[in-house]
Amino acid sequence: MMNEPRRISVFQAAAIMINSSIGVSLLALPRIASEKAGTGALFVTFLAVILFITSVWICSTLAKRFPKESFLAYSQTIIGKRLGKIATFMMICFFLFTTSIVLREFGEVLSTSLMQETPISVTILSMLVLIAITTRNNITTISYFHTYYLPFIVIPIISIVIIAFKDIDWRHLKPFLGNETTLADYVDGGISIAGLPFIPITLFIIFVIAPHMIETKRIVKGALSGAFVAAMMFFLATGITLAVFGAEELKKSMWPMLVLTRMSELPSSILERLDILFLMVWIISAFTTLLSGYLICIEFASQLFGLRSHRVLSYLALPFLYALAFYPRNALHLSQIMSHVGVWSVLITTGYPLVLLLIAIVRGKEGGADERSNTTK
């Protein structure tokens, strides 16, 4: 892995962060926020964003301390070889499950809204094969995919918000803190959103790309830049749907963002079905999120088994993810799993890097100085 050229720039790192975080669950985010806090959905989203950005800083700061080393290597340096291997194995299992949840949600949305006659197994398998083929490239090349797709994801979402602005009813945003919402509701809502599957994937993709950056010491800047743009997307998704539909209507909709695009119209009816265009954009964002999740699994596994490259495992991981994707019985069961996994997700993907960072600081553990690769051009 470490023999590959280090060519990922700060902008590319930010693009990977943005594409990984604007994922499948963005469609459901406004509903989850409204269920937890009613009209206080925007405030709950703000709390989740604070937790998200803090977690990004923790992960990127940890990666910055060990610029030349893999995640497994500095886990072993900090907590010992045996514990480092056990923790990395647990992370692989966690991200296999998390990525499978994202994959199943992708299949459910497509089967419900666009491809009703196509079996969900075909939809899921098609996406998995595409991702497996893409991960046959090295990590630098994969970063080019993310950079290329970035405008096709961000610009349409902002455009949807602008188009829907005319339908806003500002009364739906009051009271801003919600009706009879307790502190426990805010905490529960913030953790539920911060624990959505695309958030852990966004956090841990930092550990995959950091060693491949031209200057790893700038990973904090790249990661936080991407996180702030992603946070803006979260606010736009929650704010515009809440302002248009109101909290009570949001609770009744499985995927509010999709409903919003169905009711939005371009001037002079230039495009009759705006939701089809949005779904195309959403498929791209789902692909980039799943690509990051899949890459985390096979990259960590390649480190654990001492392989020279993650590409050896590109196809071997496919059947495991495919099987796990069908563990949820239906869309309702899938939603229940996501709500239950949220707390554990935050503990694992924020708590573990935080523990590693604190131990590294206390014990004075730090990797070698970062040097610009001579192979870059």
The residue-averaged pLDDT of 121-135 equals: 93
The residue-averaged pLDDT of 171-179 equals: 78
pLDDT in tens, 67-102: 888 899 989 999 989 999 999 999 999 999 999 998
Q: What is the mean pLDDT of the chain?
A: 85
Q: How far apart are CA 141 and CA 319, in angstroms?
A: 24
In the prediction, which pLDDT does 266 show?
A: 63
Q: How large is the greatest C-alpha to C-alpha distance in the chain, in angstroms?
A: 65
Cα torsion through 336, 338, 341, 343, rounded to 10:
-100
Q: Is the pLDDT of residue 37 over 90?
A: no
Q: Where are the domains of the chain?
A: 23-362
All residues at 6 or more sequence positions from 183 whose CB lies less than 8 Å from its CB, including other chains: none
CB contact at 8 A, 20 and 205: yes
In the prediction, which pLDDT does 270 show?
A: 59
CA contacts within 13 A on the Cβ side of 358: 6
Burial of 293 (0-12, 13-18, 19+ CB in 10 A): buried
Q: How far apart are CA 87 and CA 81, in angstroms?
A: 10
In the prediction, which pLDDT does 134 show?
A: 93
The residue-averaged pLDDT of 327-347 equals: 82
All residues at 6 or more sequence positions from 336 whose CB lies less than 8 Å from its CB, including other chains: none
CB contact at 8 A, 6 and 373: yes
The residue-averaged pLDDT of 97-108 equals: 90
The runs of H, that is alpha helices, within the chain are 10-21, 29-37, 41-65, 71-79, 81-113, 120-134, 139-164, 183-194, 198-209, 219-245, 247-252, 256-263, 274-304, 318-325, 331-346, 352-363
Q: Both ends of the chain: CA-CA distance in Å?
A: 19
Q: How far apart are CA 110 and CA 48, in angstroms?
A: 27
- CATH architecture observed for domain 23-362: Up-down Bundle (1.20)
CB contact at 8 A, 237 and 25: no
Beta bridge partners, 8, equal 213
In the prediction, which pLDDT does 3 show?
A: 54
Q: Is the pLDDT of residue 137 over 60?
A: yes
What percentage of the chain carries pLDDT values higher than 90?
Answer: 35
In the prediction, which pLDDT does 269 show?
A: 58
> Which pLDDT band holds residue 377 (cuts at 50, 70, 90)?
very low
In the prediction, which pLDDT does 336 show?
A: 81
Sign of the alpha-carbon torsion through 233, 238, 243, 249: positive
> Which pLDDT band holds residue 335 (cuts at 50, 70, 90)?
confident
Helix/strand/coil for 29: helix
For 244: left if phi > 0, alpha if psi spans -120 to 50, otherwise beta; the answer is alpha
pLDDT in tens, 228-249: 999 998 888 888 888 888 888 8
The residue-averaged pLDDT of 148-163 equals: 85
Q: Is the pLDDT of residue 375 over 60?
A: no
